[in-house]
Structure 1
Amino acid sequence: MLSNRRPSVTDSWKREIAAHVAVHGRAAVENWVEMARHIATLHPRGSDGCITLASKVGGNYRETSHRAGQPLKRFELAGKQFVSMNRFMRRKMGKLLASVGHVWLDFDPYADDARGNALPYRGMAPEALMAILAKAIAEAGLPAPSYWTASGRGLHAVWVCEALPGRAAPKVARILKELYGPTLNDDGTVPARKRSDPDRDLQEARLAPIWRLFRDAGLDQQTKDSARILRLWGSVNPESGLLCKRLWPEFSEDIQRCRVDQLADAVLPLTNDAFKARMAEKAATSPIEDVEPAKPRKAGWSYSPKAGVWDRRLVDLLRYREHLGFVPKGKRHLWVFLTANAMAHAKGGTVADWASALAPLAGLRVDDVRSSLASLGRRHDRHLSGETSDHGGTAWSPLFHHRGSTMAELLGLTDEFCAEAGMQSVRPSGTLALTSTQRSAQKRIKDGAIPQGTRAETKAEAGRQGLSMLAEGRTKAETIATLAALFDMGVTWCKEAVRDAGKAAPVEAVVEVAPVVSESIEKAGRFSGRYIGGSCPSPADRTEAEVSEVVQAPVVKAPAPVLYDKPIIRRISDVSTEYRTGPTTGFWVIRVIDDTYWHHVTALSFDGDYVDVPEDYHVAARAARLASSTAFATSARRSVGKAPQRRRAVAVDRAQAAEEYRRASQGY
């Protein structure tokens, strides 16, 4: 008999418990009492503003807002995994902060470093890692954290402080920045500064040991924003199936609060009293000068970004991914966001275009990337409509304007790594200055000129194709006519290409030695310039050293640059493939996730330009897809539960079409 009773909140709540027990077992059921204690610790009764509770489902966050300081019911806590560290007005946004004050550290020892290597503390028990970190924090002179949390995969250290108004957010952000520290060099040293500062020297000497330890423990540099949410005690971490729990202290009543000024004095270069004294001394000694107001801009003026700057930053971000071969876990969403912002500045586009092009390169789902780029899409729409934002009397585009040094700091890059990857604009020490020759070359390329190296390689490739046609039995006239049609060049250019390719046909070095001049050569014949005005002595009258001068020096012909005999096709994901035509040339081909036809694709070269797809891509991609699918299925049957193996690379025969040869020779 069917019941007409409407399902209550308690019924859905019981179903969620049953689902948790079925998946994770009885030990992983949510602990609502611990959830309530955690929320009350951060946002006690009587607090103003709203807090945010969130859960992560399928890569997307579902957030709900609640009045701070009010007890929450069980159905409001069911399924929740995160709580906001600060309080807001109406909704969770950085510009709607109601109160700030808490300071936190988020460690992920299971993440990878900037080079994709495992961290030294991976696999260590949370209790042991907490003891190491707590000892280092105490030795650096910092107050002890109020509590430690084992998040199920990482570790959180939180200082619970008094509530400050939202306008104090810059001060708390400065504390977090100094506590997290800069991006250290590969050897663990602090990057050099452009200006000397004795106060900062003392601060770096005191905090450098914990900065190195924080880096090795996987401190996430992206978790210091004011809108950050951290895991709730008593919630289940779906990545590990473990319960998020409080490690220390044992009882929530033993949590000790900390003052913001006490923490600021411990991490900032100057204490609060020293800073006030320094400012008072500066005000007393500095004369007051009249400052002329800035000249107003002309009517109708708006900010126009320098496309060349963002082109270089886009290329550097792609070089970062190309140098590693992948984007390290923990930085994938950040890299996609920064790269999409650079693409918006330099090339424009839509959220769908950026997501379909970058998600396969980062190893993420297109839907997840599309949702994370929603804010960038809204700003780009405002930019297209002509809207600007005033900053310091200057109109700026609504898009994000990260400096190259800021992007390098967010990605955790060092100058050594950037030098290895060939990155010029995205560097911790700032953009490298271009020489006048480099600036002139970039201007010529921007105006449509083809680089000399590309022209030479194109001519060499045309010559190699011409030799192949002659070897197949074609006449010289047919070969020259075919090359002229394929490369859109003149007959003389094609003849020179075939002639030069014939001379450079042997790849190995060729040593040509001229014979020694015989005795029958007349004395007034061809001789060294040292005998100008006289006669050349006969070979019999010369010494052995003089005879060696007449012998021509060995002439070594450098081998012509050669691409791969067979392109290397490597499947990156279900919708993307890497197509390599040489050691440093090639591109990525990305198929739109919602499309079912292979010819609807986007091709992005290693230098960030959109290129055409070769004619033989369809056959090659299908071969790579079949091989990788077979390899994946075989490995899955052999090792159930293990991580999937790297996609197999497949070498396929070149297409006979000369158009594909032309694209490959031009670096595409």
Structure 2
Amino acid sequence: MKHLSTNQHDNAPAAADLTAADYIRLLHPTDGVGKVSFVLIRSRNETITKTYSVDTAPVIVDALLDESTYVSLNRFNGPRTSSRLAQFNALYLDLDVHTLPGSNQLPDHWAGSFASDLRAKNLPQPSVLISTGRGLAAIWLLEPLPAKARSRWSATMQALIKLFRHMGADSACSDCARVFRVPGTINLKSGTEVRTMDGTLRRYKFDVLSDCIFIASGRPTRRKLKEIRQLKKKGTVATTQENRRGLTPKARFTMIARDLDKIVVHWGGRVPLGHRNTFLHLLATCLTHTGPASEIETHVRRIAAVAVLDLSGREISGIIKSAETKAQESCSSDPGLDGRLHYSGAKVAELLNISDSLACELSLEQTFSETERARRKAGRERNRRRDQGACSREEWLAINSASRGKPWQLAGISRSKWYEQGHHKISPSQ
């Protein structure tokens, strides 16, 4: 039986209220390899798995809507087990918003908060967003990714989940054999129909989407890690913090925290609309590097009470919880091994819309673009060389260019003879 949605509304997004068959076709197009599995949960002790080809799955799904039915998001060679994985089809999040403060809010409220959070982190909206009856399921469909990319897929899933733990992201929802509820079925725990709410309906390139997730996490991209490994093989990258050039994470995030104070003063003491979540998240991230986790909540709430007045207590608590979790993870001077977030100064400037001219005006220490960073570095290098007695090329040529002055003519000898006799080694004052 096909259930009728009670949530139809005008001007709905294209992905809203998809039929079960259309959802299966979207999730599992006919290209690629592998089969689709449905899991029917009839009781605590009775679970049935049925596996179909991608052609048959959309046809058969309507007959399964009277059951508590789930569908696999990836594809398998036969029964749905990790060892039989055929290809990766998606990245996904199971958001248990019913466990968060304010859980009585409608799904549209949580969907709006999630969309805003994605924009703040510069991440694309999911291909499809589902109201599961008690929470949300976000799915980013992928262009077919072979099973041999398992380690890269798993690392990206872990990073994605950590980014949204403050919104109830289920850490157990990270395995490739995961199944999600089928739209049109009823969640027996809440008595609510499962339905699609929103989404781009797009399929994303895995490498591009993965890089976006790692950048949002403050971690190096795959290309950056490859460059670091190549440099280490050549012996051009120091392996200890004592020999590594540049600031320690603690020193750098201490500077960023001072920059944030200056930026708030420039804003008149109040963080403007559109930057409140991002600003407080960046502040909390700084605290994960500069002090003990026990002080994060006190400091964040103190700043929020003064500069971020309109942010809800639920949102503030989510930011604090996420930061405290990060602060308790593995710490390393190498961002690739550190569980904490490592935003660059350029990324902070981009997130808060800080221009280079404003960064100079406010004397910011880290929060500016890579272009401004290169300009400042070049200026420091010029000053260092000047302090060591170096002069400009024009000055050097004016003093040392024998070709311009032609002193051998004044000596009444040829040029070659002048150099042969060593006159070029004698300073003019001698």
Question: Structure 1-normalised TM-score?
Answer: 0.32
Larger radius of gyration: 1
Where relative contact order (Cα < 8 A, 6+ residues apart) is larger, the structure is 2
